[in-house]
Structure 1
Amino acid sequence: MSILKVSIRQIKAARALLGWSQEDLAASADVSIPTIKRLEALDDILRGRAETSTKILRALHSAGIEFIAENGGGAGVRLRKPRAK
Structure 2
Amino acid sequence: MLPVQCRMARAALGLKIAELAELAKMSTNTIVRFETGKELKQSTIDDLRVVLENAGVIFISENGDGPGIRLKKPAS
Q: Is TM > 0.5 for Structure 1 vs Structure 2?
A: yes
Q: Aligned ranges for residues 6-85 of structure 1 at < 5 Å?
A: 6-42=1-37, 47-84=39-76
In structure 2, the gaps of 5 or more residues are none
Question: Which has a greater percent of helix?
Answer: 2
In structure 1, the gaps of 5 or more residues are 1-5
Q: Identity percentage over the alignment?
A: 38
Letter in 1 for 2:47: K
TM (norm. structure 2) is: 0.89
Letter in 2 for 1:40: E
Deviations 1:27-76 (A, max 9, x none): 1111111111111122x8xx411221121101100000001111123211
Q: Report the count of equivalent residues.
A: 76
